[in-house]
């Protein structure tokens, strides 16, 4: 049986600027948890479906980053 803990840990990508990254690689690039990336993808209605490998495109990563920056600015006010 495979250890499923690897799905919950950020992983360093071979190319951080690749067109598509896994959720784990995206979490490593954005310096947050895997669950945070998944929650933000759901909130933005982007990403894959349940039971499938989720790949995050470069444009989706930009949207995730923009939403995170916007959220930080809103919390400071």
Mean pLDDT per block of 10 residues along the chain (77 residues) reads: 77 94 94 92 75 85 88 66
User: Looking at residue 73, what is its pLDDT?
Assistant: 67
Strands (E) across 1-77 are located at: 20-22, 55-57
Rounded-to-integer distance, Cα 58 and Cα 16, Å? 10
Nearest CA to 58 among 12, 11, 16, 14? Answer: 16
User: Looking at residue 9, what is its pLDDT?
Assistant: 92
User: Looking at residue 36, what is its pLDDT?
Assistant: 92
User: Looking at residue 25, what is its pLDDT?
Assistant: 95
pTM to 2 decimal places: 0.81
Torsion 57-62-66-68 (CA) sign: positive
User: Looking at residue 1, what is its pLDDT?
Assistant: 47
Nearest CA to 38 among 51, 27, 52? Answer: 27
């Amino acid at each position: 049986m495979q250890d499923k803990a690897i799905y919950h840990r950020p992983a360093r990508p071979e190319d951080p600027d690749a067109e598509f990254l896994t959720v784990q690689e995206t979490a490593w690039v954005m310096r947050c948890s895997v669950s945070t990336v998944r929650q933000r993808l759901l909130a933005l209605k982007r990403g894959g479906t349940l039971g499938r490998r989720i790949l995050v495109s470069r444009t989706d990563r930009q949207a995730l980053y923009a939403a995170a920056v916007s959220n930080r600015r809103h919390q400071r006010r």
